[in-house]
Amino acid sequence: MAGVLAFPLLLVPLALGSDNHPFITTLALLLAVAWVVCRTAEEPGGMQVVIGAVAVSATLQGAIAIWQRITGHQLNLYSAAGTAQFAKNYFYTYGTSLRPTGSLPDPISLGNVLAIAMPPIAAMAVRAKTWSLRISLIAAVVIVGTGLVLTLSRMSWIGAFAGLIIGALLLPRPSRRAVLPMLVAGVVGVGIAGTIIVGPSISGRVTSILHPTSTTGVSADQKGVAAGDQNRLEYWKVAVDDAFLRHPIAGIGIDNMAPFIIDRVATTGAGIRTGTITFIHAHSTYFQLLGEGGLFALTLLVLLLRGMYRDVRDGLLAHPILGAGLAGGVVALLICWTTDWVIRNSPVAAAVAVLLGALAGAGRIGRQRKLNDTTASGEPMRCDPLA
């Protein structure tokens, strides 16, 4: 939680920014939700309540995504009421495949939210005391995973898979042996369901993971993805070389990245003029913060990572199984952050806040347990350099 509380380091970059009220509102939301969830997770049975709520919410999002993909309707909670057909010029498509959004602003936001939810839900399935609850949670993982596949969000796929693997490796040994068949069955089930619903688009997206900027021997859709990935490399270069290295102390100011990129990337400027590009950012949470916040933001990221490490370490003492799931969720989050900036969206920030708050609650319980054990043993207390 100490890392989260370091967000005041952004005060100087915020002062240099322009029109950053949405950023401030989203940041305040993240801190408030994380604090409430942390306090809830510290209560007896609170961690189960928090992860149970994550399971219900993510399952609902996954189910909405499946419904959207099958029916071709979208659930629009942000402008017109009710549901509507996906428009022919819908921005988020891959070939003929519509990328569902759930109730979130875009498919990548949905992918990130589902990716960070999968490891904690899977851990709760491992911990379940009854087969009925375990089967229900496994079904939730399959629904969430299928919704994730349908988003065609590549880094969310990688994040979820890595998070599940890391979570499984951190489980106590007896649980680790039991979870491997469940993990294999879940991955196979999700893969089959996603392939049935989406079809060949999945293989194209997998190919673009292995060769993101290649335009040799690929379909027109994959060439379009490759062009987008080439643009992403240009955005990263602008964020690091032009923004951070030339303004290393406080960056260029929060919310100033869009015009900065437009001035320096010709294809983006042309896209803005023709109306084919609606929102510009560094396509990386790390590079976005680094370019806009400089060393202030870099210090914040270091403190946040340090705090996450402490909470993972101590949380595993408090909740050996659920703590492993939360650790997997953090791994998924850190991977998702490499290629996009969707945490700017309040619903995504709230989902991230739940994960960070639950992790902080587990860490606080673990540290208190270590303190009590040390005091009860009569040994002199030692200062933990990471405490």
Distance CA 147, CA 281 (A): 25
Number of C-beta neighbours around residue 155 at 10 A: 20
Q: For residue range 171-183, list pLDDT tens digits in order.
A: 998 777 777 777 7
Does the structure show a pLDDT above 60 at 79?
no
pLDDT of residue 381: 40
Average pLDDT score, the chain: 83
Contact 137, 145 (CB under 8 A): no
Alpha carbon separation from 65 to 46, 149, 340 (Å, rounded)? 29, 10, 20
Q: What are the φ and ψ backbone dihedral angles of 235, each rounded to 5 degrees? A: -65, -40
Number of C-beta neighbours around residue 130 at 10 A: 8
β 73-75/97-98 pair status: unpaired
Does the structure show a pLDDT above 90 at 373?
no
pLDDT of residue 382: 41
* Cβ density class 323-340: b for 16+ within 10 Å, e for less: bbbbbbbbbbbbbbbebb
Domain residue extents for the chain:
4-81+101-371
Q: For residue range 186-240, list pLDDT tens digits in order.
A: 777 777 776 777 666 676 677 777 766 665 555 555 556 666 778 888 999 999 9
